[in-house]
Every structure is written in C-alpha cells, then in structure tokens.
Structure 1
Amino acid sequence: MRNAMSVDVEDWFQVGAFETVIAREDWPRLESRVEANTDRVLALFAETGTRATFFTLGWVAERAPGLIRRIAEAGHEVASHGWDHRRVFTFTPDQFRADVARARAALEDAGGVAVTGYRAPSFSIDARTPWAHTELAETGHRYSSSVAPVRHDHYGWPDAPPHPFRPLADSDLIEWPITTARLLGRQVPAGGGFFRLLPGAITERAVAQANAGEGRPAMFYFHPWEIDAGQPRVAGAAMRSRLRHYARLGAMEGKLRRLLRRHRWERADAIVAAEAQRA
C-alpha cells in the first residue's frame, strides 16, 4: 500500500516550541538553514525512491524560490504550510483566508505548479476553528492535513476522526489527520518528535494498523531541521521545549532511511483522490 510521506518545511527558528522566545521580526537576522536541510531531505528521497509532499511556509518560498522549484522538479508535491507559522486559532476567518491565499500565491509563483494541499502550523485546526475548512475550500484547496487526533499540550483535537473525512457537507474538501499509534493508553502522532524520540517499532505499529487494520494509507510527517544536529541552540526556551527539539537529532536521518526503505511512500495529492471516494 502507498502511504503519504510529508515534510513540514520551516526553519529551526520558526517552530512552535520557540515562538515565545524568538520574535518574528528577528527571523531575517538569524542564520537560515532550511534550504540546505531540505536539500538533504531531497537527496535522501532520491536515494530511496520516495515521492513526498512538502508543506512549505510562504515565508520560505519568498526567500528561497529556487528550493521550491527543486522540490517540484524532483517530482514532489508543493503544498502550503501557511505564511509564517501562525496557529489557525490566532486568526479571524478573514485573516486566515488572507494568510493561506498569500502563502499559496508565493508557492505557486516559486514552483510553477498548482498548490491544492494545506497543513496548519502545529496541527492547529481543531474544535475552536469550525470555519477553517470552509476558508480552505473557498480558496481552492482540495485537501488539508491539519488535524492531530490526540491530546497534547501544544495541539490536538482528540474527538476528530482518525482517518480521512469530509468536514463540510457542501464540499469535496478532504481532511486527512496525521496517523497515530497507541502508547501507554494514549494516542501519539506517527512522525516528528515522537518518531525521533521513541522506538521505531511504534511508528511501524501505526503504519501497520492503518494499512492492515483499517485498509487505509498512513500519513507520516517530519521537519528538515530534525536531521540538522548542528543547528544553533536557543537560550531562554523552556526545558521541555529544548528536550523535545534537540534530542536525538543525530539519529533522525538513519531512522528515516530505514523507514523509507520498509514501505512505499507517495505524494499526498496522489492518494487523496482515491481516499475521497471512501471519506
């Protein structure tokens, strides 16, 4: 079965863990490592024959349009991660519409391809934002992968369906939540820091449950900064945030390579059409 491989393209200083200690106005003055890190990811995908979806910030596309072109030219999907990593529930509906429209335009200009997919920063579409899917549908997006059906201190919509679903009665828009695994009585995401920090068998269990147990493809995700052990260290962040962000960065690329070789991975948009018939 084809499973969806997705990459959330943002720089080390743009992550939610550091949003209270690194001001957005300081971003242009910080060392950017996103282009080099994403190129490493592209090389890893080429090595393993992987096709993937790159949910990318418009802020990155504006400053590194060549990167977006390289993603598209390598056969991967260019999709939106919003403009500058603001969580959806911090917007009004009008502000959110402007954010996703601005990001989509920048990505399409840079990549020369249509953008139909969206992932909310920090999986921040939840019960507080019932209007978000309407705005995505009306701005031309075909699908979203913005829901984490888990309980977490930074994000989560535990009551959301754990599989692709249609959130709107009058639209074909698909919401494809991140795949989860059960660990010690709770659901955890299959990807990102959980994949980096926990045994790989937990992600394997999640993929197997989606594929064999439910007959559905899994949705996995990670970030380019997670393979960058040499990135700057941020002073002033909470201890929990620093542990989550920096732990086992050096092990991530090897774990990814093994995961990529064990399964067949595909762009999300190439799977969404088939899944739409089942949602």
Structure 2
Amino acid sequence: MQNGLSVDVEDWFQVGAFERTIDRADWPTLECRVEANCDAVLKIFADAGVKGTFFTLGWVAERYPALIRRIVAAGHELASHGYDHKRVFAMTADEFAADLLKTRAILEDIGGVAVRGYRAPSFSVDARTPWAHPVLAEQGYAYSSSVAPVVHDHYGWPQSPRHAWRPVTGSDLVEWPVTTARFAGRTLAAGGGGFMRMLPYGFTRWAIAQMNAEGHPAILYFHPWEIDPGQPRVADASIRSKIRHYSGLSAMAGKLKKLLADFDWTRADALLPAQQQRAAPWQAAA
C-alpha cells in the first residue's frame, strides 16, 4: 500500500515550542537554515526515488522562491501551511480566510502550480474552529491534513475520526488526519515529527504497518529542521520545549531513510481520489 509522505516547511525558530520565546518580529534577524535543510530532504527523497508533499509557509516561500521552484521541478506537491505558522484556533474565521488567500497566492505565483492541499500549523484545527473546514471548502481546497485525533497539551481533537473523513456536507473536501495507532484502548500519536525522533524506530514502523493493515494509507510528516542537529539552541526556552525540539535530531535522517525503504510512499494528492471515495461524513456534536 502506498502511503502519504509530507514535509512541513518551516525554520527552526518558527515552531510552536518556541512561539512564546521567540518574537515573530525577530524572525528576519535569525539564522535561516530552511533552504539548506530542504535541499538535504530533497536529496534524501531523490536517493530513495520517492515523491512527497511540501506543506510550505508563505513566509518561507517569499524569501526562498528558488527553493519552491526546485521542489516543484523535482515532481513534489506544493501545498499550504499558512503564512507565518499562526495557529488556526488563534484566528477568527475572517482572519483564517485571509491567511489562506494570501499564502495560496504566494505559493501559486512562485511555484506555478495549483495549491490544493492545506495543513494547519501545529494541527490546530479542532473543536474550537467549527468554521475552519467550511472556509477551506469555500476556497476550493481538495483536502486538509490538519487534525490530530489525540489528546495532547498543544493540540488535538480526540473525538474526531482516525481515518479520512468529510467535514462539510455537499463538499468534496476531505480531512486526512495525521496518522495514529491504537494500543490498549488508546489512540497514540504516531505520524512522525517529535514522536518519530524521540521514540524507537520500531514504534513508527509498527504504527504505519497497523494503519495499512486497517486498509488505510498512513501519512508521515516531519520538518526540515528535524534532520539538522547543528541548528542554533534557544537558551531561554523551557526545559520541556528544549526536550521536545532537540531530542533525537542526530538520529532523524537515519530513521527517515529506513522508513522510505521499508514502505511505499507518494505525494498526498496522488492518494486523494481513493481517500475521497472512502471518506465518510463526520461532524462534531453541537
């Protein structure tokens, strides 16, 4: 079974773990490493012969247009990650709509391709944002991968389905949640990122195999900074944030290469027709 391979294109200082430590106004003054890290990811993908989806911040695309064109030229899908990593539940519906429009215009102008997919920063579509999926549908997005159906202190919508679902009646929009696994009656986050870095490789491999055994493709995500152990350290961040951000950086590239060899991977949009066919309607209880 083919699985969805995705990259959340953002730099080390734009992550949720540091949003209370690093001011957005200071971003232009910090060492940017996203271009070099993305090029390293592109090489890993090329060496493995796989294509993926790059959910990209508009802020990054504006500053590194040549990188965006290299992503597209290599045959990968270009998708939206919002403009500057502001969480969806921190916006109003109108602000969210404006963020979507601004980012899509930037990406499509630079990349020269249609943008059909969206991933919310920090999986921040949840029960607090009942307007998010309707706004995405109104703007013609084909799919979103913005929900984490887990309990987590930064995000999560544990009541939502684990597999692809239709959030808006009368729309073709599909929500493809980040991959989870079931164990002892609990739903475990297992789709990549920090969970992939900090836990043994066998856990991620088991979770993907379980999702495939259920008859569904997994969707893996990670960030370019996660394969960069030499990135700057944020001295005044909390201990929890430091553990989350810096643990396992040196092992991540090796784990990624193993996963690319152990499973079959492709762009998220290549799997969309099957996801649309099998996705069942679901709406949260009022």
Same fold (TM over 0.5): yes
Task: Map 1:63-78; keep pairs closer than 5 Å.
Answer: 63-78=63-78
| 5+ long unaligned stretches in structure 1 | none
Range 9-18 or range 184-193, more displaced: 184-193
Alignment of 1:123-272 (within 5 A): 123-182=123-182, 185-212=186-213, 214-272=214-272
CA contact (8 A) 1:150 1:189 kept: no
Q: Deviations over 1:38-69 (max 9, x none)?
A: 00000000000111000000000111011110
1:186 is displaced (CA, Å) by: 4.7
1:248 CA displacement: 1.4
The verdict on how the C-alpha distance between 1:183 and 1:34 changes in structure 2, with shifts beyond 3 A counting, is: farther
Q: Residue 205 of structure 1 aligns to a residue in which SS?
A: helix
Is the CA contact 1:163–1:177 (under 8 Å) kept in the aligned structure 2? yes
* One-letter amino acid matched to 2:30: L
| Residue 189 (structure 1) shift | 2.8
* Contact 2:145/2:175, CA 8 A, preserved across alignment: yes
SS at match of 2:278: coil
Shift of 1:117: 0.2
On the 8 A contact 1:65/1:110 being kept in 2, the answer is: yes
Report the number of matched residues: 278
| Matched residue SS, 2:171 | coil
TM-score (norm 2): 0.95
**Aligned-partner Cα distance in 2 for 1:138–1:68:** 26
Q: Calculate the aligned-residue CA RMSD, in Å.
A: 1.0
CA contact (8 A) 2:181 2:211 kept: no
Q: Which runs of 5 or more residues in structure 2 are unaligned?
A: 280-286
TM-score by length of 1: 0.98
What secondary structure sits across from 1:277 in the alignment? helix
- Cα distance in 2 for residues equivalent to 1:114 and 1:65: 16
Distance 2:187 2:217 in 1: 21
Q: Distance in 1 between matches of 2:36 and 2:183?
A: 34
Partner of 2:22: 22
Quote the offset at 1:182 in angstroms: 3.8
Aligned 8 A contact 2:12 2:231 in 1 = yes
